[in-house]
């Protein structure tokens, strides 16, 4: 095999080809021949390396990892001479280009371990070869040629991998149920209906590393004996839908999907199905109803999807992140995976951090990390160095955890015990300016809206809770409201049909437990300690600070502010709608919320 001391990578994606990438390669080759370097330097074609909108061509030189940009063909002879003959970096071609900052996913911070996110931002998701170059589809090859379905299941079972959609059911065990189930046709389903507000890890995996999901699904299909699969992706993610469709097409062209995969005799095909905007479709039985062309309403279980799922056939349903972990487990072994993590939760978990934390975005950490480490070490602490108040984990069905629980080791069991859930890994951090009653009301508005209406506890119960919470926020709370809320929470949790209803009371229950004083302040003192609830606050202008600049009076939408120029102004509380515009505009901090 030829040995080259340097490699030149030239991007040949459609945009670069349009800009003359092949002419660049030809000129490079000619110049290397001319300068007698052709046996030392190899020119390789690759997918996108730079910003496609930058003018001119670009290339990368390895092992130095130098990125030359805005090149023309005339620059090539000098560049080759400097870089390869004289071994100097041609500084003048390293130019400032527009850097696209990824606000959602930055370089891994300390304490992060990336398995699911390892390829994202590193490879071109629209090019299967990029994935293959990073050991992609090697796990599939290993499974199809060296492992029986039963061995594959055992490996996943030994790894301790549990469902990343939030329920945490052991993946290998689920696969075994389906393998043993009797049915003419078995289906492999991927739940890509990531609807939890604040969670976007699945979207980034689908958009950034689609083949890891496809490969995971093929391996799972082989293990359980399924021949058809569906990826159910929510319609709010159009780019993910498009990326997955392209990935599936490419895998098919490479013989990785379809009949007789890699000559193994095993056949499996995959399709993308799109939702249409219904949160409840993330529930597995509702998801299957939606694929079949029905309203996405859940049905009672049993029978479980493993026995009677899609079109009444045994169906395996796992989350995007779960599938994406599978190839890595096969490649690196169950033991490697099981050694990461904590207690009965092995491996890593992605979290989407949002809210009042400095570094928002996606992270991947091993199970067992504490909430404090996540918020302060990885997240950089609270914005504007305000005080931490609560963190809401697991989306709208999760609970709000206070300061005293920040040293909790994150795993499925610990969170459940604390009255919250891991869910899909949403983390909404809230600072001292957040009103916990308002937050509970807010989440209840969401579940009330998304309740499909099929079962009464969820449909009516969430509405009653919402009414009470709204009343409390309006300053009309009654002394027995707290007891009524507790009663409703228990009833809804016990009697609802699916996870949406069962989890719906969690935000209320957890805030009642950890922030009862705020409820009491609203109900008994008619006071909102965080100064959020409009009916319980009033805006006042502080004499001495007000310069009488009239800015607030001119911008008040209801003309509630009066006063002479250079005199202290006054807000009429009867007219004021508490929109807060005056407070935002005032340059002298003269407006106070009481």
- Verify binding: residue 274, another protein, rule CB under 8 A: yes
The first and second tokens of residue 46, run together, are: 């690759």
- Verify binding: residue 283, another protein, rule CB under 8 A: no
Whole-angstrom distance, CA of residue 8 vs CA of residue 25: 9
Closer residue to another protein in complex, CB, 111/295: 295
- Verify binding: residue 342, another protein, rule CB under 8 A: no
36 Rama sector, left if φ>0, alpha if ψ -120 to 50, beta otherwise: left
Q: Which stretch binds another protein (CB under 8 A): 119-127, 165-173, 351-359, 471-479?
A: 351-359
50 Rama sector, left if φ>0, alpha if ψ -120 to 50, beta otherwise: beta
Candidates 396, 503, 505, 529; binder of another protein (CB under 8 A) is 396
Q: Which stretch binds another protein (CB under 8 A): 270-278, 458-466, 485-493, 541-549?
A: 270-278
User: C-alpha distances in angstroms, 371 versus 340, 484, 511?
Assistant: 17, 31, 18
- Verify binding: residue 354, another protein, rule CB under 8 A: yes
Total residues interacting with another protein, rule: CB under 8 A: 51
For tokens 């169906």, the residue is: 315
Four-point Cα dihedral 327, 329, 331, 336, nearest 10: 160
Q: Among residues 297, 402, 296, 410, which one has the least CA distance to residue 346? A: 410
Q: Give me the least distance between CB of 428 and another protein, in Å please.
A: 5
Assess contact for 410 and 349: CB atoms under 8 A. yes
Q: Which stretch binds another protein (CB under 8 A): 230-238, 244-252, 259-267, 301-309?
A: 230-238
- Verify binding: residue 294, another protein, rule CB under 8 A: yes
Candidates 452, 498, 521, 523; binder of another protein (CB under 8 A) is 452
Assess contact for 459 and 447: CB atoms under 8 A. no
Return the residues of window 472-531 that contact another protein according to CB under 8 A.
Answer: none
Assess contact for 530 and 432: CB atoms under 8 A. yes
Query: How long, in residues, is the chain?
Result: 594
Q: Give me the least distance between CB of 274 and another protein, in Å please.
A: 7
- Write the interaction track for another protein spanning residues 234-253; mark x where CB under 8 A is met and - where it is not: -xxx----------------
Q: Give me the least distance between CB of 150 and another protein, in Å please.
A: 32
- Verify binding: residue 195, another protein, rule CB under 8 A: yes
Q: Which stretch binds another protein (CB under 8 A): 35-43, 64-72, 145-153, 194-202?
A: 194-202
Q: Give me the least distance between CB of 292 and another protein, in Å please.
A: 6
Assess contact for 338 and 158: CB atoms under 8 A. yes
Assess contact for 6 and 84: CB atoms under 8 A. yes
Whole-angstrom distance, CA of residue 571 vs CA of residue 555: 13
Please give the span between the terminal C-alpha atoms of the chain, in angstroms, as a whole number.
78
Q: Catalog residues that contact another protein under the rule CB under 8 A.
A: 103-104, 194-200, 203, 235-237, 273-279, 290-297, 352, 354-356, 360-362, 392, 396, 426, 428, 430, 434, 439, 442-443, 446, 450, 452, 557, 579-580, 584
């Amino acid at each position: 095999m030829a040995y080259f001391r340097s490699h030149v990578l030239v991007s040949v994606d459609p945009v670069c080809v349009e800009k003359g990438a092949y002419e660049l390669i030809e000129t490079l080759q000619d110049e290397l021949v001319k300068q007698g370097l052709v046996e030392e330097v190899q020119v390789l074609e690759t997918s996108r390396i730079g910003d496609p909108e930058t003018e001119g061509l670009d290339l990368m030189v390895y092992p130095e990892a130098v990125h030359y940009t805005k090149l023309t063909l005339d620059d090539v002879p000098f560049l080759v001479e400097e870089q390869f003959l004289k071994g100097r970096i041609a500084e003048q071609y390293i130019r400032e280009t527009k850097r696209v900052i990824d606000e959602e996913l930055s370089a891994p911070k300390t304490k992060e371990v990336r398995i699911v996110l390892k390829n994202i931002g590193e490879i071109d998701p629209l090019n299967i070869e990029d994935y293959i170059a990073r050991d992609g589809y090697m796990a599939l090859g290993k499974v199809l040629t060296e492992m029986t379905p039963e061995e594959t299941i055992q490996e996943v079972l030994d790894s301790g991998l549990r469902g990343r959609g939030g329920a945490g059911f052991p993946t290998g065990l689920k696969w075994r149920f389906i393998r043993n189930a009797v049915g003419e046709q078995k289906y492999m389903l991927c739940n890509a209906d990531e609807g939890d507000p604040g969670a976007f890890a699945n979207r980034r995996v689908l958009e950034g590393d689609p083949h890891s999901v496809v490969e995971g699904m093929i391996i799972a299909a082989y293990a359980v004996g399924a021949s058809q699969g569906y990826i159910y992706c929510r319609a709010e993610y159009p780019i993910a839908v498009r990326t997955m469709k392209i990935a599936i097409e490419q895998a098919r062209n490479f013989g990785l999907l379809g009949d007789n995969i890699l000559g193994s005799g095993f056949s499996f095909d995959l399709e993308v199905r799109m939702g249409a905007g219904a949160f409840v479709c993330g529930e597995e039985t509702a998801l299957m109803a939606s694929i079949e062309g029905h309203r996405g309403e859940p049905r009672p279980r049993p029978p479980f999807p493993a026995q009677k799922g899609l079109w009444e056939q045994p169906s395996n349903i796992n989350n995007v992140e779960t599938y994406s972990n599978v190839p890595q487990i096969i490649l690196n072994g169950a033991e490697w995976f099981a050694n990461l993590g904590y207690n009965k939760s092995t491996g890593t978990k992605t979290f989407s951090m949002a809210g009042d934390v400095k570094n928002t975005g996606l992270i991947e950490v091993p199970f067992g990390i504490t909430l404090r480490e996540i918020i302060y070490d990885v997240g950089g602490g609270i914005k504007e160095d305000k005080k931490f108040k609560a963190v809401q984990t697991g989306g709208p069905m999760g609970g709000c955890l206070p300061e005293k629980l920040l040293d909790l080791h994150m795993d499925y069991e610990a969170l459940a015990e604390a009255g919250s859930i891991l869910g899909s890994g949403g983390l909404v951090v809230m600072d001292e300016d957040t009103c916990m009653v308002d937050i509970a009301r807010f989440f209840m508005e969401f579940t009330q809206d998304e309740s499909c209406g099929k079962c009464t506890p969820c449909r009516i119960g969430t509405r009653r809770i919402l009414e009470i919470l709204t009343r409390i926020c309006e300053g009309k709370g009654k002394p027995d409201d707290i007891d009524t809320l507790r009663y409703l929470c228990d009833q809804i949790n016990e009697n609802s049909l699916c996870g949406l209803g069962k989890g719906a009371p969690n935000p209320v229950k957890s805030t009642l437990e950890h922030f009862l004083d705020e409820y009491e302040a609203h109900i008994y003192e008619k006071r909102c300690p965080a100064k959020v609830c409009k009916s319980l606050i009033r805006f006042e202008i502080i004499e001495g600070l007000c310069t009488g600049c009239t800015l607030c009076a001119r911008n008040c939408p209801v003309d509630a502010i009066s006063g002479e120029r250079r005199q202290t102004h006054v807000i009429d509380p009867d007219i004021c709608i508490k929109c807060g515009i005056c407070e935002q505009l005032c340059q002298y901090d003269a407006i106070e919320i009481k």
